[in-house]
């Protein structure tokens, strides 16, 4: 949970519960519209530094010049989540600042928006 923003806690817990429920029912989290919207919000401004500062992603209207062009890379959600948790190259690790639910929402968004989701 993000301690700096306690008002996000209920939303994050609810999102985590939905992801858990979907995985326990034998279905991958299909990424509801709410999860996609939350991921887009995090991509644009919620993550610090914001993903949009470094990455190009057409759906977000971002034209970053530091990180890879996500529309070309088309990463799947597990690849994005791993990079978010651990960092990759110049990209910092977001595990200390984002909750697991936020990481999953952001990973889902990037995978769906870039065309990398299966």
- Domains of the chain and CATH, by start: 6-114 (1.10.760.10)
Name the pLDDT band for 46 (thresholds 50, 70, 90): confident
As a whole-number percent, the residues of the chain with pLDDT over 70 amount to 73
Does pLDDT of 24 surpass 80?
Answer: no
H-helix or E-strand containing 57? Answer: strand 56-57
Question: If you count them, how many residues does the chain have?
Answer: 118
> How much is the pLDDT for 9?
46
Tokens of 104: 């999953």
Among 24-28, 55-59, 93-97, 113-117, name the one with the lowest average pLDDT. 24-28
Tokens of 8: 């996000």
CA distance linking residue 14 with residue 4, whole number of Å: 18
């Amino acid at each position: 949970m993000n301690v700096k923003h306690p008002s996000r806690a209920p939303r994050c817990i609810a999102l985590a519960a939905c992801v858990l429920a979907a995985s326990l029912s034998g279905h991958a989290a299909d990424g509801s519209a709410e999860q996609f919207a939350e991921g887009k919000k995090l991509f644009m401004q919620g993550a610090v530094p914001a993903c949009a500062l470094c990455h190009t992603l057409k759906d977000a209207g971002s034209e970053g010049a530091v990180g890879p062009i996500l529309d070309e890379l088309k990463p799947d959600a597990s690849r994005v989540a791993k990079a978010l948790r651990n960092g990759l190259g110049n990209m910092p690790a977001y595990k200390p600042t984002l909750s697991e639910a936020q990481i999953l929402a952001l990973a889902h968004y990037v995978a769906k928006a870039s065309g990398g989701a299966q």
